[in-house]
Chain A
């Protein structure tokens, strides 16, 4: 019994932390895809780009990977700005927005970034060094029950929390943030208010992209990185954003934590190889009951 409680407690704790990690990977997409309806399938690969920036700053200058990610954030913001401008000129300007066409565009971008990374950094797996990697806080609760909190996951969790709340505050408390949310709902109203919706979208997209700096750093803290790893996570990040409900940044965090806990419990008690089936099964079930996701407000179609 003690063993069971021990396993359960640990699975819960690690699951919550893992959820934070997933949230950090998905939060940018929650803005670009959730709010702006841009099918940015290259998002995980852009995270890998962020991971490599963290790797370079860490291995060359000895910077902490998170700090490196923060330093890279403005660069990614600028990158997002440029990408959106290109995207807008190519797909949205004509008026008949077809976000699927964007998918093909970002699929191409994914390959371009991936090969760029291969040419610049090679194909080997990369890791970063930081004092919090490979160590954990051990909290003894009772006989044969102790909870180990891996610091690298804790770091990811805290960073994800901070990012989520900062973005949430920005979106709900500032004029500009409210404009971003309005862009998703009513472009016309914005125009009448004298706000240029394109400018708003550009900034929002760049903001989503900027999260790839820290997100990428967290990624390379948690797992080894090589240029093609991003592709593995495309399904996960989209699933989390949809599960949370499009347009809800908070929802993304909650959905990520739900998936994290589910995967961790499954891995502990039922065999880790079923983890993806369970998390996507949850997604299917939720969509069957609440087609708009857990925290989505607009029903049905996009």
Chain B
């Protein structure tokens, strides 16, 4: 079956839609949103880091750019969520393109630190930009009745979704499925093979005629777009956003740790890692009402990464 993946992907989106219509327990959507956001972040990181070997340590910066694009759009134009996500993707994609040019000179750990520096500089700039709340942060009222192309998305009676969290969840499922589809496509395309060659030896790839810069620019841009799209709904999810929460280091580290745990070589690795680690984090913080939740997260991280040195995917490979 050539299109099995696509069929399953579509089924997942349909299933998510059915879930929003059938399940009345909102908790599922809250937890689902957070985990799916991590699926996108991990997948996005892996496009550059797993396939191309360029480690982005500033993922939080890309996510925050998406989030703050939304805040600015809400404040300037009052546009809806879908437009915010498109805009967030574009802006973060441009930032990704910019970081792509960094790869001209910087490799390995130097590139990683440069992306971290970029995120910190962005954070400082946002903290000084009073229009989006500056360091004090800002409250965001999601549009009461978001509409696009004549479709009323959220309304208790006539909307497609009865409340905002269902809408956010559904969009995040769509984004996650699309991201994974893109990652899978890259993996099987010339781009993916070229990135793999760059990862093995950039100089050798160059000699073999791989257009290294162009491929790296594609990868950084695609990765940036994904992170920006994942970050855009954050403003509507939290309804209050400040630089400290948007640029949280946790995003940057999780975006690396999740593919590491799942496996970086194929598209499924980051998905597994995000679901396992993100799920474990959510479970610990929502079912253990003490500081021990953080301890469990730490122990799980250490155990995961030790027992599965090639990621969960690599572990499967071994046991076969």
Contacts and interface: CB of A to CB of B under 8 A. Distances in A.
Interface of A: 41, 90-91, 94, 100-101, 103-105, 107-112, 114-116, 118-119, 231, 234-235, 238-239, 242, 246, 273-274, 276-277, 280-281, 283-284, 287-288, 291-293, 300-302
Complex A-B, nearest 5 residue pairs according to Cβ-Cβ distance, in ascending order: A111-B298, A108-B301, A277-B124, A108-B302, A280-B117
7 contacts: A104-B261, A107-B301, A115-B298, A235-B116, A235-B120, A284-B117, A300-B110
Given A231-B249, A300-B107, A103 B124 contact: no
A82 to B, nearest CB: 13
Contacts of B292: 115
A109 B302 CA distance: 7
Given A284-B118, A287-B106, 13 more contacts: A90-B305, A103-B257, A104-B256, A104-B301, A107-B257, A107-B298, A107-B301, A112-B298, A119-B291, A273-B135, A276-B124, A277-B124, A287-B105
Contacts of A116: 295
Interface string B249-293: 100010011001100000000000000000000000000000110
Given A104-B256, A239-B113, A242-B109, A280 B294 contact: no
A41 B253 contact: yes
A288 B105 contact: yes
A100 B113 CA distance: 13
Contacts of B117: 235, 239, 280-281, 283-284, 287
Contacts of B116: 235, 238-239, 280
Contacts of B22: none
B300 interface: yes
Given A242-B109, A274-B124, A280-B121, A111 B306 contact: no
A85 to B, nearest CB: 13
B309 interface: yes
Contacts of A91: 309
Contacts of A234: 249
A104 B107 CA distance: 20
Contacts of A273: 124, 127-128, 135
Contact of B302 (A105, A280, A283): A105
B294 A111 contact: yes
B149 interface: no
B257 A293 contact: no
B297 interface: yes
A112 B301 CA distance: 10
Contacts of A277: 120-121, 124-125
B305 A281 contact: no
Contact of A103 (B113, B256, B309): B256
Given A242-B113, A280-B120, A300 B108 contact: yes
Contacts of A231: 249
Contacts of B127: 273
A205 B282 CA distance: 34
Nearest to A99: B109
Contacts of B306: 90, 105
B260 A115 contact: no
A104 B298 contact: no
A200 to B, nearest CB: 21
A108 B127 CA distance: 29
B120 A276 contact: yes
A238 B257 CA distance: 18
A283 B113 CA distance: 9
A138 to B, nearest CB: 33
B55 A100 contact: yes
Contacts of B205: none
Contacts of B118: 280, 284
A221 B149 CA distance: 61
Contacts of B120: 235, 276-277, 280
Interface in B200-228: 202
B300 A108 contact: yes
A115 B302 CA distance: 14
Contacts of B249: 231, 234-235
Nearest to B293: A115
Contacts of A110: 298
Contacts of A115: 291-292, 294-295, 298
B151 interface: no
A3 to B, nearest CB: 26
Contacts of A301: 107-108, 202
A239 B109 CA distance: 11
Nearest to B116: A235
A24 B109 CA distance: 22
Contacts of B261: 104
A91 B120 CA distance: 30
A288 B101 CA distance: 11
Contacts of A94: 309
Contact of A246 (B109, B260, B301, B304): B109
Given A115-B294, A235-B116, A277-B120, A292 B257 contact: no
Contacts of B256: 100, 103-104
A277 B119 CA distance: 10
Nearest to B58: A235
A287 B306 CA distance: 33
